[in-house]
Amino acid sequence: MKKLLILLIISAIAISCDKTIVPEQASKLAEVKVDGGRLSFKTTNDYVNTLDALFKMNGDALDEWENKFKISSIRKYFKAGYDEKNDYLNSFENASPSLQATLNASGEVIIGDTIVWFSNGIKHFVPSKDESLLSSIKANPSESKFTATYSITKVQDQNNNLARVIVDGNGKESRWQRDFTYYKGNMNTNAGLRKYVHELYATTQAFGCWRQGCNTQSQIYLRIKLEYRGSGGSWDWRPAGEQRSVTLNLNSFDAQYFSSGSLVVPFYAGNNWVNSSYVVNGDLVWPIASGSGPNYSGYRAHWSVELSGSIYHFITDDALLSNRWNNEGYPLW
């Protein structure tokens, strides 16, 4: 039995308000309003509990929740397509869908009377909804006096994905991946290189910081993608949109969140096993667990994870059957 160890960098850069998070595993969503093109929550607890509730939703339910509010969210940006030149929004590509759904396309949300702007791993708190101050901070982030951190963390490189690995907030990656030549419809139509990608991510935020540390919330999830190889001078791998079939048969998993040395018992987004099939065009995100707890200075919060079973993944109109991938492992991570 081997476990994946995911370390998360959490820090307080300045003291912010509202030190306490009391997560509630309730089905009732907090009241949300729209204020100036941003979602607005009354309290930090309301925001944290909403993130947890959204994390448990499937894609259709999350769409329904988003459609209640007429804002352009980061999640909607990714559902509409992918602009390779938009470095800022693309930095949220692998974030938890719950975070993507609550931020507008400028990376902003309102909590109480404070605008929170997410940028490059830093949450900037702008009191009194001061739009002029927000503009100044965006032009010169060093002017920001009240900040905390967030991270979108993935696993670092390794050879076989079966050994214990260390993952920190620098975002080094490790993932199951397989590249192949896609034959669209028949063997005479070479549609170029594609790559299946199966990986674990954790999105972690600091809330309510004080001198010794911060309260944190962390969500860990499985992300299943298809990518294509760019052309025209760029050979980068980019998100692909072909229709695919994905079958998850995960029969054993365990996720433990250690925010500061002791185990924080997380709630699970689903059962401890899954046998489900999906037809998707974009990323398939399967939530594993969410945890909240204090993180003290000098201690690195982490997840300890073990996940076993199989992921069967293929493009539905690929003529070459050998391109179908049954990614199986005991454990996979």
Burial pattern 126-159, b for ≥16 Cβ within 10 A else e, equals beebeeebbeebbeeeeebebbbbbbbbbbbebe
Residues 76, 232: contact at Cβ < 8 Å? no
Place of tokens 């800022």: 88
Phi, psi dihedral angles at 62 (to 5 degrees): -70, -40
Mean pLDDT over the full length of the chain? 86
Confidence of residue 159 (pLDDT cuts 50, 70, 90): very low
pLDDT for 73 equals: 97
Q: What are the helix (H) ranges across the chain?
A: 44-55, 59-66, 74-80, 87-90, 97-102, 131-139
pLDDT for 173 equals: 39
SS3 79: helix
Rounded CA separation 106/104 (Å)? 5
Q: What are the tens digits of pLDDT across the range 162-200?
A: 433 434 433 333 469 999 999 999 999 999 999 999 999
261: closest CA among 322, 308, 213, 302? Answer: 302
Q: What are the tens digits of pLDDT across the range 32-60?
A: 999 999 999 999 999 999 999 999 999 99
Q: What is the pTM of this model?
A: 0.87
Number of domains making up the chain = 1
pLDDT for 10 equals: 59
Query: Based on the number of CB atoms within 10 Å of its own CB, is 168 exposed (0-12), middle (13-18) or buried (19 or more)?
Result: middle
Confidence of residue 299 (pLDDT cuts 50, 70, 90): confident
Give residue 19's domain range.
Answer: 4-329
- For residue 84, how many C-alpha atoms fall within 13 Å in the half-sphere facing its CB? 11
Confidence of residue 28 (pLDDT cuts 50, 70, 90): low
**Looking at per-residue confidence, does 236 or 108 come out higher?**
108
Q: What are the tens digits of pLDDT across the range 197-256?
A: 999 999 999 998 888 899 999 999 999 999 998 776 667 888 999 999 999 999 877 888
Per DSSP, the residues of 22-73 read -----SSPPPEEEETTEEEESSHHHHHHHHHHHHTS-HHHHHHHHTTS---B
Q: Parallel, antiparallel, or unpaired: how do β-strands 274-280 and 284-296 relate?
A: unpaired
